[in-house]
Structure 1
Amino acid sequence: MADITTRIADLGHIKLHMAESGAGRDDLVILLHGFPEFWYTWRKQLPVLGDKYHAVAPDMRGYNLSDRPAKAEAYKINHLVKDILALAAHLGHESFYLVSHDWGAAVAFALTMFAPDKVKGLMVLNGAHPYIFAKLLETNENQIAHSKYITEFNDPKMEEKLLADNCDWLWNWTFAEHEKRGLITPDEKAEYIKAWQQPGVVTAMLNYYRMSPVRPRPASKGEKGLNLDPKQFMVHVPTYILWGEQDHALMPENLDGIEDFIPDLEIERFPDISHWVTHEAPDVVSEKVGAFIEKVKGRK
């Protein structure tokens, strides 16, 4: 398998730290992590993909070793999209494949809607379509209940909670069970704690939520929902969704009606996998990403 190397990409408006494998290969594959991860979530996929493609996993702005703008407004979705488009251009590619998870999927969906000509194919691992998710957060009591953390993340005391006791609460909330099952080693845990404890990282991670208009707005409590035009949320590129059905953050209703927004869509469900797909099924992810890319290439 190909080696993983890391470097800083100076994009002019921001510097992003990135890991890559297979540099110089024809097809660019950009892998976008979610909260509260960093490029490291793709550590088992990068060497496999690097055998055939130029696989690149950036630390998105604010995370780990990438630049952390101080203002919360710098974490609005338009800035996150700009970063990835600029990264692809910096790497010398007009178009690319996108692989995404969680918050990375939010960025990937937005990018694909804004610049479909740049995306050859979109792959989403347990990531919510923004229109469907926004509507569920207005009407689906189960999704609202499981998303209360989004509201809690707006509490100015949340930074202190996430950093306390060597990030104990955050680790227990996310990956403690994976560590117990041997899916994350003590050394790998140390990498996560180190990334979270970089100065300002926790605030930057929370700013993604604080700047997002998508949050619980229960109609049952009289809250007004977002005035969204569904026509603005169409995805016009080949898309593959890998969905772990044991997800406790995103309810399965996030897939209901999604084909209305993505005409060229394939969905594959995995009943024994949770939200944390790359940790629980790393080989499956590598295989499915490669198969999807080759399927899209085969059409041409």
Structure 2
Amino acid sequence: MTDIREGFADLGDIRLHYAESGQKGEKLIILLHGFPEFWFTWRKQLPVLGEKYHVIAPDMRGYNLSERPKDIADYKINHLISDVVKLAKFHGYDEFYLASHDWGAAVAWSVAIAKPDLVKGLMVFNGPHPYIFANLLQHNDDQIAHSQYMADFRKEGIEERLLANDCQWFWDWTFAEHEKRGLITPEEKAEYLRAWQIPGAVTAMLNYYRASPLTPRKLQAGDKPLSLNPEDFIVKVPTLVVWGEKDHALIPENIDGLEKFVPDLKLVKLPEVSHWVTHEDPERVSSEILTYLAELEARS
């Protein structure tokens, strides 16, 4: 396996930290992490994928060692799309493969929709399609209940709760069970606690939720639903969706009708995996990415 190297990319309006593996000049894969992680979620995939590809896993803006703009508006989706495109160009690439999880998947879906000419293939691990998710957040009681944390994360002062007692509640809510199962070592836990406790990091991470138009709400009489045109959310690039069916936050209906928005879709379901697929089955994540890329390359 190849080694993992780290660096910084000055993109003009933002400076992003990243980890990478493989050699420049090979086909590029960008890996986008979710909340509340950082590049570290891909630590087991980077060396494996780097055997054949140039793989870059950034800390998305606000996370870990990347810069943290102070304005909530700086975390809107247009800026997040731009970060990915500029990161590829910084490394000398005009096109790339894109793999993603959770909030990283929200960004990846948006990049693929907005910039289909740049994305050679999209890979999503437990990240809902934006139109389907937006609809469920307004009309499906189960998804609204499961997503209440999204509304809580918009509240002023929630940072204090997440950081209290060396992030004890935050850790229990996310990865305590994985630690008990031996899927996260004490050393790896220390890396997460370090990244979360960098001054301003938790606020920046929460600003993704605060800047998003999506929030769980049950429509009342007279309420106007979020106005979205489904035609604007068609994904025109080949797409792999890998879905852990024991996801505690995203209900199964998130993949119902997905083929209507993704004409070139491969869907893989993992019955024994939860939302945290990179921790629970890291080897499967690597193999699904490599298998799918081999399929795409065989087409050409």
What TM-score range do you get, normalising by the shorter chain?
over 0.9
Q: Which residue of 2 aligns with 1:56?
A: 56
Q: CA deviation at 1:157?
A: 1.2
TM-score, length-normalised on structure 2? Answer: 0.99
Q: Which residue of 2 aligns with 1:188?
A: 188
Which residue type is aligned with residue 101 of structure 1?
A: H
Distance, in Å, in 1 between the alignment partners of 2:125 and 2:222 is: 33
Kept in 2: contact 1:183–1:280 (CA 8 A) = yes
Q: Which residue of 1 aligns with 2:131?
A: 131
Instruction: Map 1:169-188 onto structure 2 (within 5 A).
Output: 169-188=169-188
Distance, in Å, in 1 between the alignment partners of 2:175 and 2:272 is: 16
Distance, in Å, in 1 between the alignment partners of 2:25 and 2:167 is: 38
- How many residues align? The count is 300
The answer to whether residue 227 in structure 2 is matched with residue 232 in structure 1 is no
Q: Which residue of 2 aligns with 1:282?
A: 282
Kept in 2: contact 1:259–1:265 (CA 8 A) = yes
Distance, in Å, in 2 between the alignment partners of 1:232 and 1:46 is: 33
Distance, in Å, in 1 between the alignment partners of 2:194 and 2:61 is: 17
Which residue type is aligned with residue 151 of structure 1?
A: A
The answer to whether residue 253 in structure 2 is matched with residue 268 in structure 1 is no
The alignment partner of 2:247 has SS state of coil
The alignment partner of 1:242 has SS state of strand
TM-score, length-normalised on structure 1? Answer: 0.99
Closer, same or farther: CA 160–89 of 1 in aligned 2, 3 Å:
same
Which residue type is aligned with residue 206 of structure 2?
A: L
Distance, in Å, in 2 between the alignment partners of 1:224 and 1:272 is: 38
Q: Which residue of 1 aligns with 2:122?
A: 122
Q: Extract unaligned runs of 5+ from structure 1.
A: none
Distance, in Å, in 1 between the alignment partners of 2:119 and 2:292 is: 13
Instruction: Map 1:110-259 onto structure 2 (within 5 A).
Output: 110-220=110-220, 223-259=223-259
Listed one character per residue, the Cα deviations across residues 144-179 of structure 1 (whole Å, up to 9, x for unaligned) are: 000000110111110100110111111000000000
Closer, same or farther: CA 221–143 of 1 in aligned 2, 3 Å:
farther
Distance, in Å, in 1 between the alignment partners of 2:227 and 2:216 is: 14
Tell me how large the CA RMSD over aligned residues is. 0.9
Q: CA deviation at 1:219?
A: 1.8
Q: Which residue of 2 aligns with 1:68?
A: 68
Q: CA deviation at 1:217?
A: 2.3
Listed one character per residue, the Cα deviations across residues 198-252 of structure 1 (whole Å, up to 9, x for unaligned) are: 1100000000000100111212576432000000000000000000000011101
Q: Extract unaligned runs of 5+ from structure 2.
A: none
The alignment partner of 2:199 has SS state of coil
Q: CA deviation at 1:11?
A: 1.0
Closer, same or farther: CA 14–92 of 1 in aligned 2, 3 Å:
same
Distance, in Å, in 1 between the alignment partners of 2:224 and 2:213 is: 12
Closer, same or farther: CA 221–161 of 1 in aligned 2, 3 Å:
farther
The alignment partner of 1:2 has SS state of coil
Distance, in Å, in 1 between the alignment partners of 2:223 and 2:248 is: 24
Which residue type is aligned with residue 153 of structure 1?
A: F
Q: CA deviation at 1:13?
A: 1.4
Distance, in Å, in 1 between the alignment partners of 2:266 and 2:70 is: 39
Q: CA deviation at 1:68?
A: 0.3
Distance, in Å, in 2 between the alignment partners of 1:148 and 1:51 is: 41
The alignment partner of 2:117 has SS state of helix
Distance, in Å, in 2 between the alignment partners of 1:249 and 1:113 is: 24
Kept in 2: contact 1:217–1:224 (CA 8 A) = no
Q: CA deviation at 1:193?
A: 0.2
The alignment partner of 1:116 has SS state of coil
The alignment partner of 2:243 has SS state of strand
